[in-house]
Amino acid sequence: MIEYIFHILIIVSIYGILALAQNLIMGNTGLLSVAGAAFYGIGAYITAIFVTKLGFNIMTMLIIAPIITGFIALLVGITFARFRDDYFMLATLGFLMIFHTVVRNWETVTGGSYGIVGIAKPSIFGFSLSSPNTFIYFAIIILLLATAICYFISRSSFGRVLNSIREDEDALKIFGYKTSTYKLIVFVISASLASLGGVLFASYITFIDSNLFTINESILLWAIIILGGIAKNRGALLGALFLIAIPEALRFIGFPNEVAGLMRQCIYGLLLVIFMLYRPKGILGTYKI
């Protein structure tokens, strides 16, 4: 039972990192992005490829994966930064589709639809973090690092400019701010943070394939930060806890096996609908999309 609880906390930590990254670009800056799953997947695939084929260790990937992912985000973000609102969302959706197509068809590198197996667990001074009881500390440390970065950004002058972009980008341009530059920077930072979630996921599950990083993951990230509260780092973490823990808690309701899965999904969906009807700004939020 303890291992199961630690397993849930590890998954919550991974999605907490992803939610913080999504909140940085969507909550703080007001950019509607569905590319979160793509950068999450890029971090996971970079980790899997470097570890299984090049012999790198997971600790090194905590540095390499964000750098490579950030560089990719920089290349695509140079174009995306000039877009706004629905156009930005469509551009990021296109990027997610391109990522999914590449990893499914570049079989010699990504394994195609079969994915990549045998990803090594992280180890510290020869001590392997191979079980949930030990991996949980690794996951929490990375989560705390991501949280510290996001809190620092949100409380800095850079963060205040991001909030101004969310509120009125045109007004900010009048004062001479190059908003496209700020959007490009936050796009790169968000992508790098999301890749950390990918590193954790790949090293914990030890297997990845393209079906794990679809638009469904991006929609889940949207739901997490909306439920927790837009533009609130605490809300992103709380939303991750709720949306990961509630489905697991519903497993313990004694439904007949024939309808258990369907009933859990129905109750889960109903809870979300009811909550958003009575708390449309989320648990801790003060803004709406």
Quick one: residue 231, left, alpha or beta (phi over 0 = left, psi -120 to 50 = alpha)?
left
User: What is d(CA 122, CA 4) in angstroms, rounded to the nearest whole number?
Assistant: 19
The residues spanned by each domain of the chain are 2-214
First vs last Cα of the chain: how many Å apart?
39
User: What is d(CA 66, CA 62) in angstroms, rounded to the nearest whole number?
Assistant: 7
> Which pLDDT belongs to residue 155?
92
Handedness of CA 175, 179, 181, 182 (dihedral sign): positive
- Encode pLDDT of 197-245 as tens digits: 999 999 999 999 999 999 989 988 998 998 888 888 999 999 999 888 8
The residue among 261 and 119 whose pLDDT is bigger is 119
Buried b (16+ CB within 10 A) or exposed e, 232-258: bbebbbbbbbbbbeeeeebeeeeeeee
Of residues 208, 226, 161, 270, the one with CA closest to residue 37: 208
> Which pLDDT belongs to residue 12?
95
Neighbours of 223 (CB within 10 A): 16
Determine the average pLDDT of the residues in 162-178: 87
> Which pLDDT belongs to residue 229?
87
According to DSSP H, which parts of the chain are helical?
2-22, 36-54, 58-80, 85-105, 107-110, 132-154, 157-174, 179-205, 215-228, 233-250, 260-278
User: What is d(CA 251, CA 257) in angstroms, rounded to the nearest whole number?
Assistant: 11
Report yes or no on whether pTM surpasses 0.75.
yes
- Encode pLDDT of 46-101 as tens digits: 999 999 999 999 999 999 999 999 999 999 999 887 777 788 889 999 999 999 99
- SS3 for 113? helix
> Which pLDDT belongs to residue 289?
61
